[in-house]
A and B are shown apart, each in its own frame.
Chain A
Amino acid sequence: MDYILHILVMVALFAILATSFNLLIGYSGLFALSHAAFFGIGAYATAILAVKLGLPFPLPLLMGLAITALAGIVIALPALRISGDYLVIVSLALQVIVVAVMLNWTGLTGGTDGIRGIPRIEIFGARLDTAAKFLPLALIVAALCYWVGWRVGASPFGRALKAMRENEAAAQAVGKNIVAMKLAVFAIAAALASVAGSLYAQYVTFISADSFTLELTIYVLAMVILGGTGNLAGSLVGAALLVVLPELLKFVDLPPDIADKLRQLFYGALLIVMLRLRPQGLLPESASAHHYLAPPERPQVDRPVAAAVLEGRGLEKRFGGIVAVSKLDLALAPGRITGLIGPNGAGKTTAFNLLTGFIEPDAGEVAYRGRRLKGLKPHRIVRLGIARSFQDLKLFTRLTLLENVLVALPRQRGDHLAYVYFTPWAVAREERGNLGRAMAILEFVGLQRRAAEPAADLSYAEEKLLAMARLVATDAEVLLFDEPLSGLAPNTLREVQPIFRRLADSGRTLAIIEHNLDVIRELCDTAVFLDEGRKLAQGTPERLMRDPVLAERYFK
């Protein structure tokens, strides 16, 4: 029955669109409304190449894919600076511009006439000119596209995308190059959408700009969200449901003049009902790693390392008229825990930001192992061995504890898509080893029993422990803790404090920002007192606390 086969072809095409859109919106949190434009660029590229140059399948598809991937990168570039709701406008701009070009560049695209007579795909001499003949190709290509998307989602790269979605700063702080990641996911999503466009063009054999408008993007968005963001199988379900449902509604007999409007109305109502029943989407977000798959080996977390001195020399930073940090000299030594103390707004967190590349100093320099860290992005600095935690934790709340730690482990092959696609076995082997490492780290802080739970479900104390675990997981030799113990009850403190000592004893360089004087006294070998951006004193905690001037400013 040709009608059903045609519907299945449309389901296949929309499945490709929905899964690729899910990678952007669901996995990466990049709310870009330009998907119909990518679909259209693929369709037009294929149509033009097939009609004007007579190129046989699959050349137009592959070339269209490359062109659209480039378009994806073009729109990704401004996305690097803009996020969330504002990215919507940028992507809308691309959507509008692409359609306007389709309508007006008559020489290339046929303008408002569109392009017709697009040749059918011929494979081994067979012309795919009916739905029945086209369906197998559509299904195979859809399966391939799904596999491509699935490899992204299920890999460490996919996990890193989700981490980026949860919190960009924290993702950078665990060594992820979010710029590269954004470019990559845009390119892939755009390329997959163009594959669907290419098939569409050679199936319907006529294309015009009004098939590629914002309305289509919204339709695909509904599929992704209904199916469940962050779950690619959900996108398949969403695509199937939202293509089949309107067609099924046509079997309901209604007076013709209002029939189609009534059907649309039912469709809208059903959308609401389905979402009411499953407010998170039909299929939940799947975890990328499971603790029960970890090997029994637990590598030592606090194994000895050869750290070095992290130095800040003459650091200056102004924000508008406010001096955050001024003439700051800081030297953090290995094997020691250095405390940074001082009133609020003294510049302690700013100092951390300067040392780890989150902010550029107006003057002065930062050096590690004799190497100047000028202009290095935070993720690079993490890879060099210097990592920090955040005062407000910035946990990856929708990821499990295990994933939070896993994503922070360094030097993962799985972060690079080339390895994910071409040496999947090596990535899998490394992942197994990393599972063991991650579990070891969770045991180090005492959270191993909650490994499979989302970070959002943790108590306050457990959250602080997870933040520490994530920092330790980076395997950095220099660890900068920003108020790691604030708000913890005394018995928890007693359990947790030894962790710092163990890390320092392994040779690592530690620095802690803290307000709790008992903690400073017990943990820190040396303390630096900051106020109004200036270092006022440095010495053992006892000496500092006996100083009358400092006492006046702070200790009272």
Chain B
Amino acid sequence: MRKLLLAIAALPLALVLGFAAAVSAQSAAGDPKVYKIGAILAMSGQASWYGTVMSQGIKQAVDEINAKGGVNGIPLEAVIDDHKSGNAQEGVSAMNRLLSIHGAKIVLTSFSAPTQAIAPLADQNQVLLLNGGGVSNNLVGASKYIFHNRSLAGDLGRAAAQHAQSLGAKRMAVLHWKNDAGDNIVRAVQPMWEKGGGSIVAVEAVPQGATNMDTQIAKVRASNPDIVALWMFAPEVGIAVKRLRELGMKQPLIGVEYTANDAKIAGEHGEGYLFINDYFQPSAEFPWSQQFAQGYEKRYGAKPEFYAANYYEAVYVVAELLKRARSQGGDYVNGEALKKALYSNPKFDSVYGGQMVFQPNGVAFKRVGLFKVEGGQGKFQKYIEVK
């Protein structure tokens, strides 16, 4: 019996050693045979819908580029890892894996907590980080090498509030995600709304992942607002829209997101919902956007979300950076060289159409548009300049 117990107790040690063997066999740091692009996404857990669409965008881009012969004749390889829907420790473990085992110097990241947790590792190891998901202020400048190709959450909120002002609304009720993105928007909007002569009559927080918002909505309803602002993201925004309309609220609703998932949930209650978003609208005017959308639909049987577009686009940005940096010579696959390559010309083609410009703070300036839900889909209304 004791021998069996000793054997079992020795199991973890054996695992670690076997581990080490497996790990060293895979070591491929700095191997120019392949450009490794790591990605740390929500591949499991409550928010795994995000991981699904983001990874699909990445894979499509990688396949397309490789089909054309890769970058500098070298193929790309995407290594997708999991932060289990926003867990900081998992993000750090994933980053360690990508660094040590895959030698990745380029990582596409998502979600606030894991991104902030891996930022020090990115700095230490000169890893380029690209974020295409939600951007709260905390992520700006979190690392020397972090860039974002999505508008700041705060900016989206203020654009929405601007439009709400133009509609003549004075009393705003707010439903927001209880996390840094939601809180950021609340903090960004409140002063400008009040300066414009309006008042915030209710601020109700909803935990991310909650489906039961009845209490918050009852309080919003009781506050008698002119307009209800939804500072939250998928899929809670779909549930909120549905619930608000079901309970008979007729006020205009305005927010910062509305994905296909939300449209499904809200159904016909979503009609007329207004939202500000990075202006992603596949159209003949912008051939790349259409080509991407058609390719995505063929591969995955669904229309692409702008999240997928952002991560698709990010891979193309990486490809462009690799091209530029290589011409400078030396060891170019690292954050320092790639960052220099980025700022040598901060304009990049955007799959949204036209070009996006990376600002000194690392955030790409993209046009932001007002959309209105018609026939279950967001229809572009106009561009909004965030003041």
Contacts and interface: CB of A to CB of B under 8 A. Distances in A.
Interface of A: 1-4, 6-8, 10-11, 103, 111-114, 116, 129-131, 200, 204-208, 210-211, 233, 237, 240-241, 244-245, 247-248, 250-251, 256-257, 259-261, 263-264, 278, 282-284
B363 to A, nearest CB: 18
Nearest to B9: A237
A248 B113 contact: no
Nearest to B1: A284
B48 A244 contact: no
B92 interface: yes
Contact of A261 (B43, B78, B89, B136): B43
Contacts of A241: 11-12, 15
B180 A114 contact: yes
B183 interface: yes
Contacts, number: 140
Contacts of A112: 178-180, 182-183
Contact of B52 (A233, A257, A263, A278): A257
A237 B6 CA distance: 11
Contact of A204 (B43, B92, B138): B92
Pick from B18, B48, B96, B117 the residue with the most CB of A within 10 Å. Answer: B96
Contacts of A206: 88, 113, 116-117, 119-120
Q: Across the A-B interface, give the 7 residue pairs with the lowest CB-CB distance, nearest first.
A: A240-B12, A3-B100, A260-B43, A260-B82, A260-B44, A6-B96, A112-B180
A208 B12 contact: no
B218 interface: no
A112 B206 CA distance: 13
A101 B73 CA distance: 54
B215 interface: no
B27 interface: yes
Nearest to B181: A112
A113 B138 contact: yes
A244 B100 CA distance: 16
Interface of B: 5, 8-9, 11-13, 15-16, 18-20, 22-24, 26-27, 43-44, 48, 51-52, 55-56, 59, 78, 80-82, 84, 86-89, 92-93, 96-97, 99-101, 112-113, 116-117, 119-120, 124, 136, 138, 142, 178-180, 182-183
A1 B23 contact: yes
B19 A211 contact: no
A245 B15 contact: yes
A256 B59 contact: yes
A211 B15 contact: no
Contacts of B101: 3
A260 B48 CA distance: 10
A237 B12 contact: yes
Contacts of B55: 256-257
A205 B87 CA distance: 14
Contact of B89 (A204, A240, A248, A263): A204
A245 B92 CA distance: 17
Contacts of B11: 237, 241
A111 B24 CA distance: 41
A13 B140 CA distance: 30
A233 B55 CA distance: 41
Given A4-B16, A113-B183, A244-B15, A259 B89 contact: no
A205 B27 CA distance: 27
Given A112-B182, A116-B138, 18 more contacts: A2-B99, A2-B100, A6-B93, A7-B93, A103-B178, A112-B179, A113-B138, A114-B116, A131-B96, A206-B116, A206-B119, A208-B180, A211-B87, A237-B8, A241-B15, A256-B80, A260-B84, A261-B44
Nearest to A284: B5
A382 B1 CA distance: 40
12 contacts: A111-B183, A113-B136, A113-B183, A114-B180, A206-B113, A211-B88, A237-B8, A244-B15, A248-B18, A257-B52, A257-B56, A284-B5
B8 A282 contact: yes
A1 B19 CA distance: 11
A208 B178 contact: no
Nearest to B25: A251
A3 B101 CA distance: 8
Nearest to B5: A283
Nearest to B26: A251
Contacts of B119: 116, 206
A259 B138 contact: no
B93 A251 contact: no
B9 A233 contact: yes
Contacts of A10: 89, 93
A248 B44 contact: no
B132 to A, nearest CB: 17
B315 to A, nearest CB: 14
Contact of A3 (B82, B97, B142, B183): B97
Given A112-B178, A112-B180, A233-B9, A247 B93 contact: yes
Contacts of B89: 10, 200, 204, 211
A17 to B, nearest CB: 12
B142 to A, nearest CB: 7
